[in-house]
Amino acid sequence: MARWQPDAPGRLAAAALDLFEENGYENTTVSEIAQHAGLTKSTFFRYFPDKREVLFDRDTVTGLLVEGIASAPPAAGPLDAVADALDALGRTFFSADRREFSGRRQAVLDANTELREREALKRIDLTASMIEALEHRGVPGLTARVAAKLGTLVWEIAHDQWIDTGNSEDFGPLARRALADIRATEAMR
């Protein structure tokens, strides 16, 4: 099976995903993950504080989103800045060779309460980073909160569709369409 597997944290995440799928999250140890990745336990702890973190690469995602919001054209409205950032994320992080990994990862997260909780908190922290990045553009606080909340919903919808194996569209265009669909709903009036 072709597998997205570049650097050490990526190899550790891929190894963890294999083992969580095979033996369950609870029954997998950090030593086993490191061994399966052909790395040492101390290398693991250089990148992740514990087992629960190994499937989360939010520093990268947060950095890309914040950068994308910052570099949107000055005239772009708050939601358009968020859409630009999601586009950038689609080009650089949610690329086609990560799709299969992301789908398997999401299935493992969804099946485990501990991981769902960690994901829920990461989502809140990510939303907070987006709010901050929007405020840096001069967007007023409440507007930034609304745009970030809606941006998170765009993300969720586009990500669900992107990891769907029946779908082959890229993340960016899926996010653009989700945003347009959201803007057209009755709830936005």
Q: Which residues bind a second copy (CB under 8 A)?
A: 77-79, 113, 116-118, 120-121, 123-124, 139-140, 142-147, 149-150, 152-153, 157, 181-182, 185-189
Query: Helix 113-136 crosses helix 141-163 at what angle (to 10 degrees)?
Result: 130
Contacts of 174 (CB under 8 A, 6+ apart): 90, 157, 158, 161, 162, 167
Query: 181: number of CA atoms within 13 Å, CB side?
Result: 11
- Please say which residue, 22 or 136, places its beta carbon nearer to a second copy: 136
Q: How many residues does the chain have?
A: 189
Encoded amino acid at 73, one letter: P
- Please say which residue, 14 or 81, places its beta carbon nearer to a second copy: 81
User: At its nearest, how many Å lie between a second copy and the CB of residue 60?
Assistant: 21
Contacts of 28 (CB under 8 A, 6+ apart): 16, 19, 20, 51
User: At its nearest, how many Å lie between a second copy and the CB of residue 155?
Assistant: 11
User: At its nearest, how many Å lie between a second copy and the CB of residue 51?
Assistant: 15
- Please say which residue, 41 or 137, places its beta carbon nearer to a second copy: 137
- Please say which residue, 18 or 53, places its beta carbon nearer to a second copy: 53
